[in-house]
Amino acid sequence: MNTLIDYDWTVMAPELTIVVMAAFLSVIDLFLHPNKDRRLFMWPTLIGIVGAMCFVGMSWGKPAYQILADTYRVDDFALAFKMIMLIGTAFITVMSYGAFRKEKGFAEGEYYYLLLTALLGGMVMASSGDLITLFVGLELLSISTYILVGIRKRSVMTNEAAWKNVVLGGVASGFILYGMSFLYGLTGSTNLFTVRDRLGEALTSGYDLYAWLALFLIVFGFGFKVAAAPFHMWVPDVYQGAPTPITAFLAAISKTAAIALILRMFLIGFIPLFQGGRGTVLDEKTGGRVLLILAGLSMIVGTVIALRQQDAKRLLSYSSIAQAGVILVPLASWGPFLFPSTLYYLTGYLFSTVGAFSVLMLIERESRDSHLSSFAGLSRRSPFTALAMTLFLLSLAGIPVTAGFFGKFYILANAVVTGSPEHWAMYLIAGIMLVTTVASYFYYFAIIRMMYFRASQVEEKLRIPVGAMIVISVAAVATLGLGLMPQLVVDILGNVDWGASLAPVK
Amino acid sequence: MMEIAKALPTFILFSPLIGVAVILWLPRQKSQWIRMAGLLGTLPPLLFAFFLACQFNFTRGAVQFRQDLPWFSIPLGQQKWNFSYQVGVDGLSLPLLMMTAIIVVLAAIASFSIKKREKGYFLLFLLLEMGMLGVFVARNLFLFFIFFEVTLVTMFFLIGIWGLVNRERAANQFLLYNGAGSVLMLLGFIGLLTLFQTMDFDRLLGIMHDPQIMQMLAQNEMAQKVLMGAFLCISLAFAIKLPVFPFHTWMLKVHTEAPPPVVMIHSGILLKMGAYGLIRFGVELFPTQVKEIATILAVLGLINILIGAALAFVQKDLRRILAYSSVSHMGIILFGIASLNVAGLSGAVFQAVSHGFISALLFFFIGRLYERTRTTDITELGGLASPMPVMTGIFLVGGLALLGLPGLSGFISEFLAFLGLFHTQPIIAAVGTLGLVLAAVYTLRAVLTVGFGPTDTRWRELTDARWTETIPMLTMVGVILLIGVWPAVLGDPIQTTLEQIMARMGG
């Protein structure tokens, strides 16, 4: 039995950095006079995140390492997801700088350290090798975001959003926990690798029903967290009510963390269900088909409802439901590019989403409203912002030369490669993806139409705070750069031995 | 010197960006400067294109000036999917490239009538030019697709911002139809990629014409299905672009709502991308599959010719008449393609180039006319020959070229296309000749009503063509005449390349 001292704790350096910074900020917040401006909290937050990024970068490419009785894994899979989440949170930290200055009673101190704890939850999820740590990470992320969504205490819409988020998010967590309890019951272990080994046995000895029940319960809960249809009801209201940077956080980082969770669960714990679950009540392809349905429905529902939206924030939230469907396609189709295409898409999606939401935040600040017509005449009021927003929307719509286009191309190639007469559903999902992509042009271009084709009542220049300016510029450069030179990321992602990330450490 | 010559397609392709860079630095208020910069920005591609034509070896059918630079690659197990920047020019793309470079300059002159947001207009205009040039020089499916999309997005803005009253609906419809088309194309390309592991056009050509590989594929039912599916997707995509009959509604809207210089480009060049794509990716890449649908193509062509002509006859708006006449003339291109022989295919390419210039000329005229009269309704117009004899005269020449008068470019292209089809589908071709008669009817009706008859008092004071209008129009008339009396100028490069394509097809 190892003692705690024996572990190489340096592998947890990114998480520890974030914990230390969050603790530091909460103590400072406690002792600082309530009326003091807490805008400068942005800096320690950012320093913590950048430090964690450096640690993540340093551990990249090393063999997998497990600590804390194999509950916590550091492998390339986890590191890639952590990197995406860190970049995303860094963006959100910077764009929040000065964003809430004029709001009375806005708990800006809490805002920053809760962002860090939410990020920490996501990182723990990405690194878990055990059901318990997985759930702890999930709850840390969820509870932090419950508060962040409701952080504007005096706004009715925010309160509605927070309430819905707590209740529905709580139910989703309950589902996941219930599913996990079945897994534990069947296998007597919470370790994902042990679960995998024993689940095959359980399947053949007549307990297959419970194994499938566990899977479905976890998929239900996961559907909520990743904002996939038919579990998407909470999304538009919560996204609309939350402060816009937090909406971006939910859309980009929470989604990434949920994808990390489901990949771990499916590709380690539940793998016996997909690899010839002989003698089961459901045939072996069903497991994949659950995700296919989830992906297809999300794309269709998200796109169809987004077509009718008149509010930019709701439009983007429905679009994020459709995007969740696209992100699920590689996992549903398994193909040779499962990991690289998912991660590439998430990276591109992160930049475009965060960029789009920061432009939206500027518009909202000016007009106190996120109706589509608030975008009217933006090309005159701020040509740069309009151009950047166009780039983000083109990327979300999957039009070249942007990160989103190459991501969709990658995912589509992955699905088509996997397709075969027995696997015809792959062609179906590729078809759904293409049709919804074309339909999505309509609503993404609705914003572009407003910005360029319509005149605005206000003629004065749009004021852009420094933080938002930096975020928009960097995101725009990244969106374009990843589209022009996909090699930058493909090289990093494509040459990793992902199989090793999913094998137990000897 | 040789090193520079080798990179000529790249120079042509990216030279519009010089203009873009200059315009970006000009202040928004200096509209006159921006216009001049926009016009000058279209000249480098033209110069480079002329230079390339001089260096072009007309006796070689294969691709010349080929450039191949690695771009990125996706690792797939032990092997890799390589994506390269591959450009080149052959006898098929050279005429279209030249046509694009020339028409864009003339359209830039026509764009002087644009009176709002000139900066954005000329930026998009030059980017659109880059997209079109890229489509014609790309030798890689991925690259082709990207440039195809560049034209889509820039056109959306050009229609939606500078169009007429219903511009937004026209822009939307344009976007959705063409978006659907390009998504289909992408699916087809990905099908090929998964089957052959490459998007390099010349390598794909080699594979598709390798009897051994084809024999292996013939036994694999799945591969056959994927191949046929890819072929149908790609053909459908270009059919929407051309446009083939049921998909033509978006194109009518664009013709009537877009600003005239943009219609010049749209009708003159963008529709021809459909024809080019059908020949390049349909006929050249899928020799066996295209034979199976040759009859369908001919029938679709017939429908296009007849319906387009019949509907053109009943229209009152000059723009709509020309829009439907484009539908009809694109049918002739389909005829040429469906014939699958050298005569027919060169007829199709001839028709693409010739109709490009004719419709650019006619829309140049319409743009100028609209600026003076504020209407394009032929029931209101009439007797314009007396206040503006030069303009009406040129319009008459354009009309005569459109209906296929011998000595002008329209004749030779229609002649070749029909000649080709008579070899393979004599009945359909015979019925199709009816379209030529109808073309004469609707064209003369339009030209005569507008130009002759009693002059309305409103039009007495109209001014005739200024030199900025005469020069571009006469240039186009010159090209139309040149192709008409000396078809070899166009025919030679086309001929060698098409003969090579046909030889590969094996008959």
Residue B504 has pLDDT above 50, yes or no: yes
Determine the Cα–Cα distance for residues B287 and B282; give it in Å rounded to an integer.
8
pLDDT for the residue A367: 83
The predicted structure's pLDDT at residue A401: 85
**CA-to-CA separations, A285 to A220, A277, A282, in angstroms, rounded:** 18, 9, 8
| Chain A nearest CA to B226, separation (Å) | 10
Note whether A487 contacts B183, CB cutoff 8 Å. no
B229: nearest CA partner in chain A: A427
Q: Whole-number mean pLDDT of chain B? A: 90
Unique residue bearing structure tokens 């034509």: B53
Distance from CA of A380 to the nearest CA of B (A): 10
Q: How far is B152 from chain A (nearest CA, A)?
A: 10
User: For chain A, how many structural domains are there in total?
Assistant: 1
Q: Which chain A residue shows the shortest CA-CA distance from B230? A: A416
pLDDT at A275 over 70: no
Q: What is the pLDDT of residue A336?
A: 82
Q: Residue B343: how many CA atoms within 13 Å on its side-chain side?
A: 13
Cα separation, A154 vs A103, in Å, equals 10
Burial profile B188-202: b = 16 or more Cβ within 10 angstroms, e = fewer:
bbbbbbbbbebbbbb
What B310-317 contacts at long range (C-beta under 8 Å, 24+ apart), as own/partner pairs, is: B310/B438, B312/B438, B312/B442, B313/B438, B313/B441, B313/B442, B313/B445, B316/B377, B316/B378, B316/B379, B317/B256, B317/B376, B317/B377, B317/B378
Give A438's contacts in chain B (Cβ within 8 Å).
176, 179-180, 183
Residue of B nearest to A440 (CA): B176
In a domain, A380, yes or no: yes
A447 in any annotated domain: yes
Residue B143 pLDDT: 94
Interface test with A, best of B17, B28, B74 (most A CBs within 10 A): B74
Is pLDDT above 60 for A137?
yes
Residue B28: how many other CB atoms lie within 10 Å? 12
pLDDT given at position A354:
96
Contact B157 A452 (CB under 8 A): yes
Chain B residue with minimal CA distance to A423? B222
Q: Can you tell me the ipTM of this complex?
A: 0.92
Task: Pick the range with the lowest mean pLDDT from A39-53, A276-290, B430-444.
Answer: A276-290
Nearest alpha carbon to residue B402 among B447, B437, B456, B439:
B439
B165: which chain A residues are within 8 Å (Cβ-Cβ)? none
- Whether A251 is in a domain gets the answer no
Chain A hits for B153, Cβ within 8 Å: 394, 399
pLDDT confidence of residue B111: 92
Q: How high is the pLDDT of residue A283?
A: 45
Whether residue A301 is contained in a domain is answered as: no
Q: A263 or A499: which carries more pLDDT confidence? A: A263
Q: Contact B180/A438, CB-based, under 8 Å? A: yes
Question: Which two structure tokens, joined as six digits, stand for A451?
Answer: 């910005």
Do the beta carbons of residue A396 and residue A264 sit within 8 Å?
no
Q: What confidence tier does B1 reach under pLDDT thresholds 50, 70, 90? A: low
Strand segments (E) across B176-303: none
Residues of chain A neighbouring B77 (CB-CB closer than 8 A)? 336
Tell whether A7 lies on the interface with B, counting CB pairs under 8 A.
Answer: no
Q: Is A422 strand, coil or helix? A: coil
Q: What is the domain extent for residue A351? A: 311-506
Going by pLDDT thresholds of 50, 70 and 90, the confidence category of residue A229 is confident
- In A, which residues are within 8 Å of B194 by CB distance? 413, 416-417
On whether any CB of chain B is under 8 Å from the CB of A336, the answer is yes
- How far is the alpha carbon of B390 from chain A, nearest alpha carbon, in Å? 37
pLDDT band for position A1 (cuts 50, 70, 90): low
Q: What was the pLDDT predicted at A351?
A: 96
User: If we measure between CA atoms, which residue out of A437, A414, A340 comes closest to residue B194?
Assistant: A414
- Within 8 A of A453 by CB-CB distance, chain B residues are 160-161, 167-168, 171
Distance CA A235, CA B466 (A): 61
Q: Report A:109-148 residues touching B (Cβ under 8 A).
A: none
Look-up of token digits 């699958």:
B340
Express each pLDDT in B217-238 by its tens digit: 888 888 888 899 999 999 999 9
* A505, A348 contact by CB (below 8 A): no
Put simply, the answer to whether A445 touches B167 (Cβ < 8 Å) is no
pLDDT, position A393: 96
Please give the residue of chain A at the shortest CA–CA distance from B144: A400
Q: Chain B: residue nearest A431 by CA?
A: B187
Predicted confidence band of residue B142 (pLDDT cuts 50, 70, 90): very high
Nearest CA in chain A to B78: A495
pLDDT band for position B2 (cuts 50, 70, 90) = low
Query: What is the maximum alpha-carbon separation in chain B?
Result: 79
Task: Output the six-digit token pair for B426.
Answer: 């004599």
CB contact under 8 A, A409 and B73: no
Q: Chain B residues with CB inside 8 Å of A394's CB?
A: 153
- Residue pLDDT, tens place only, A252-265: 999 999 999 988 88
**CB-based contact, A447 to chain B, within 8 Å:** no
A4 pLDDT exceeds 80? no
The predicted-structure confidence for A392-432, as pLDDT tens digits, reads as follows 999 999 998 899 999 999 999 988 888 777 777 888 889 99
Number of CB pairs, chain A paired with chain B, less than 8 A apart: 78
What DSSP line would sit under A113-173, residue for residue? HHHHHHHHHHHHHHHB-BHHHHHHHHHHHHHHHHHHHT--TT-HHHHHHHHHHHHHHHHHH
Q: How far is Cα B473 from Cα A9, in angstroms, rounded to an integer? A: 78
A195 in a domain, yes or no?
no
C-alpha dist (Å) from residue A193 to A73, A332, A499, B289, B366: 12, 21, 14, 51, 74
Of A112-121, A190-199, B93-102, the poorest mean pLDDT is in A190-199
Q: How many other CB atoms sit within 10 Å of the CB of residue B455?
A: 16
* Residue range B14-29, pLDDT digits in tens: 999 999 999 999 998 8
Taking the CA atoms of B367, B371, B373 and B374 in sequence, report the sign of the dihedral they define.
Answer: positive
Beta bridge partners of B79: B76
d(CA B291, CA B235): 13
Cβ contact, residue pair A441, B175, below 8 Å = yes
- Compare CB distances from B183 to A400, A437, A487 and report the shortest one's residue: A437
State yes or no: pLDDT of A276 exceeds 70: no
Give pLDDT, residue A6: 74
User: What gap in Å lies between CA A214 and CA B97, rounded to an integer?
Assistant: 61
Q: Which residue has the higher pLDDT, A33 or B85?
A: B85
Q: Say yes or no to pLDDT of A506 above 90.
A: no
pLDDT in tens, B376-406: 888 888 888 888 889 999 999 999 999 888 8
Interchain CB contact of A384 with B (< 8 Å): no
Residues with Cβ within 8 Å of residue A350, at least 6 apart in sequence: A84, A87, A88, A91, A252, A253, A256
Is A281's pLDDT higher than 50?
no
Pairing of strands B64-76, A72-74: unpaired
Burial pattern B131-166, b for ≥16 Cβ within 10 A else e, equals bbbbbbbbbbbbbbbbbbbbbbbbbbbbbbbbbeee
> Are the beta carbons of A416 and B187 separated by less than 8 Å?
yes
B240-297 tens-digit pLDDT = 998 998 898 999 999 999 999 999 999 999 999 999 999 999 899 998 889 889 999 9
Q: Does residue A222 lie within any of the structural domains?
A: no
CA terminus-to-terminus distance, chain A: 15
Picking from A416, A418, A423, A480 by the largest number of B CB atoms within 10 A of its own CB, the best residue to mutate is A416
Tens of pLDDT, residue by residue over A202-228, are 877 888 888 888 988 999 999 999 989
Q: Is A401 on the interface with B (CB under 8 A)?
A: yes
Q: How many helices (H) and strands (E) does chain A have?
A: 22, 2
A434/B184 touch (CB, cutoff 8 Å), yes or no = yes
Which pLDDT does position A279 carry in this prediction?
Answer: 38
Nearest CA in chain B to A488: B72
Q: What is the pLDDT of residues B184-217, one digit of tens each?
A: 999 999 999 988 888 999 999 888 888 888 888 8
Per-residue model confidence (pLDDT) at position A287: 58
